[in-house]
Amino acid sequence: MMQTIQGIAVSRGIAIGRAVPLGREPIRVRHYLVAPAQVEQEVARLQQGFALAVQQLRQVQQMLTGDDASSELAALLDVHLMLLDDASLLTAASENVRQRRYNAEWALVLQLEQLSREFDAMDDGYLRERKSDIEQLVERVLRCMRGEAAAMGDVLSQPQPDATGAAEVQGPGGELQNLPLIIVARDLAPTDMLQFRQKVFAGFVVDTGGSASHTAIVARSMDIPAVVGAKQASARIRRDDCLIVHADAGLVIVNPDAPTLAHYTRLQQALEVRRQRQQLLLHTPAVTRDGETIELLANVELPSDCPAALAAGAQGIGLFRSEFLFMDRHGQLPDEEEQFQAYRQAVEAMQGRTVTIRTVDIGADKPLSRTEQRHGDEQSALGLRAIRWSLAEPQMFRAQLRGILRAAAHGPVNVLFPMLAQLSEIRQALEQLEMARAELRATGLAFGDLQVGAMIEVPAAALMIDQFLRHFDFVSIGTNDLTQYTLAVDRADESVAHLFDGTHPAVLQLIALVIRQGLAHGKKVCLCGEMAGDTRLTRLLLGLGLRSFSMHPAQLLAVKEQILQSDAKALRNWAEGVLRSEEPLQLIEGEGAELI
């Protein structure tokens, strides 16, 4: 019987194939007390389990091939290795053995439960997703202590598709069909993802995770259809079930009937034809039919992401999220030299194209390590984060600014300050930048000139845009946070996710205001949130006057295709009508936009 499962859309495309369940049920451990004389022996078992887990991960690292998707996996493996190298997890588990005389497995699981509660209390969605990293590491250590094979063994040992990526199975009507494989799992570890790449897998369906989970990150980098947060999918889907994974919609269809399968097969074929057509646009300038030149930039997290941006035709980096250099460091912040080397690597990789580096967006709701996290009401999206945290830590802030300024000596660089809301914050941030310049002059280190910009991601900044534009060379609209703060909807809270709407009239009015005032002042306005890569909104943003988009590299060509088909002048009146509408989305998705 056909059934549908709704999850979270994190990549694009359609996969049709047969289900290959990956059993990752939590390991059940025995609970018993050890004799006093056996305590150190149990601690030694823990230490050996951790050592073997590190050895396994390092062996996996050696399998990486150096392509773009491998760089994503390498970063995730580095995080796992850092967590294993961090003595706090092993030390806490060892104390459970020594003080309570718990057996090693019980002691480790007990510490996992404590850490899980701490991660669940975090406001920041990205960091909450990191709980799964800890769970996977504990599972790996437990398996090492037991001498068991990796969780992937059962999947990789089964019959695999032929060279065309298909395996002969019974279709929904009983006929034999050749279908590629689709992994269905409760959760996926980075090492699992690496092993998937060595086989032929068409897509992924995962019970857990969100848009910031490692599965989502790698799926986007590999451009593979994936749906995460599909609760109970692994329990509802059986081996060899026929699956349709509609990644753009976050939809999984199990055992589709013949008409549904035929419909999605045609849609899949049409999407593939469209992708091939888009690839032909790689070297075509992004110019509208009426001659408006549009800037298409890429969002990146690490210097290793830059080659993918270039391969997608990005004209530069519109958002380098520098906080990824600071996370999971266990309190050891990257110093000026380390940051300079990372920024320089990105600048040189972009071969003369501008790199816009956002200063660290981290704080009370994004603890630098789990041992530093706050609890209760202190941990808030309205707390000490982004520019507030930077201004509260001026030594750290100036070290970052010096690293950025030094990188600007190697190519064009912009600096971008996040979450500004007060004129006092603007003045302080600019003063810190001048102090960083003076410190570099005093040391004789080379540095370059740069453009200075502000993120517009709180309503106060949008409403004060005239004053902001007097102080900055450009502004960049962060639609993710702007939507969150305008609608008072925590974008990391699944219970109110249905209320998070970037096309809400209030959000669109603020975006339009910023673009309009930017044009009036002759200052560039870029849009770097998720809306920039949403092709449903490309024509609306063009009609509102936006001329600079920054997005994930995988979205660039699809947005360029929309731009090439659009007449920006003709879209103006329609866009104004959308702003006046009580139901903007109906007009955006209606036939009116398609006819322009």
pLDDT tens sequence across 195-214: 555 556 789 899 887 765 66
Catalytic residues: 214, 528
Q: How confident is the model at residue 8 (pLDDT cuts 50, 70, 90)?
A: confident
Enter the tokens of residue 588. 């955006």
Cα distance between the two ends of the chain:
42
Q: Are 515 and 482 in contact (CB under 8 A)?
A: no
Is the whole model's pTM more than 0.85, yes or no?
Answer: no
Average pLDDT value for residue range 369-381: 44
pLDDT score for 40:
94
Instruction: Say yes or no: do domains 3-23+154-260 and 36-150 share a fold.
Output: no
Q: Are 208 and 132 in contact (CB under 8 A)?
A: yes
The CATH class of 3-23+154-260 is: alpha beta
pLDDT score for 166:
44
What is the C-alpha separation between 254 and 329, in angstroms, rounded? 42
Higher pLDDT, 185 or 156: 185
**Residue extents of the structural domains in the chain:** 3-23+154-260, 36-150, 291-595
Exposure b/e, 5-26, CB count within 10 A at least 16 = b: bebbbbbbbbbbbbbbbbebee
Enter the tokens of residue 287. 């110019």
- Known binding-site residues for Mg(2+) equal 457, 481
- Known binding-site residues for phosphoenolpyruvate equal 321, 358, 480-481, 491
Q: What rounded mean pLDDT belongs to the chain?
A: 84
Encode pLDDT of 60-93 as tens digits: 777 665 554 555 666 667 767 777 776 778 888 8
What is the C-alpha separation between 481 and 460, in angstroms, rounded? 12
Looking at residue 522, the DSSP 8-state letter turns out to be T
Encode pLDDT of 283-304 as tens digits: 999 999 999 999 999 999 889 8
Q: For residue 31, what are the contacts with CB-CB under 8 A and spacing of at least 6?
A: 102, 103, 106
What is the C-alpha separation between 549 and 537, in angstroms, rounded? 11
- Known binding-site residues equal 321, 358, 457, 480-481, 491
pLDDT score for 120:
67
What is the C-alpha separation between 267 and 428, in angstroms, rounded? 53
pLDDT score for 219:
74
Encode pLDDT of 102-122 as tens digits: 899 888 888 888 777 777 666
Nearest Cα to 486, choosing from 508, 468, 516?
A: 508
Enter the tokens of residue 348. 């040189």
Encode pLDDT of 392-418 as tens digits: 999 999 999 999 999 999 999 999 999
* CATH fold for the domain made of 36-150: Enzyme I; Chain A, domain 2 (1.10.274)
pLDDT score for 374:
37
Nearest Cα to 80, choosing from 94, 61, 63, 96?
A: 61
Find out if CATH 3.20.20.60 is the number for domain 291-595: yes
pLDDT score for 9:
83
pLDDT score for 33:
84
**Secondary structure (3-state) at 358:** strand
pLDDT score for 216:
72
pLDDT score for 331:
65
Report the 10 Å Cβ neighbour count for 244: 26
**Secondary structure (3-state) at 537:** coil
Q: For residue 213, what are the contacts with CB-CB under 8 A and spacing of at least 6?
A: 10, 129, 132, 206, 228
Q: Are 82 and 133 in contact (CB under 8 A)?
A: no
Q: Are 12 and 247 in contact (CB under 8 A)?
A: yes
Phi, psi of 527 (to 5 degrees): -120, 120
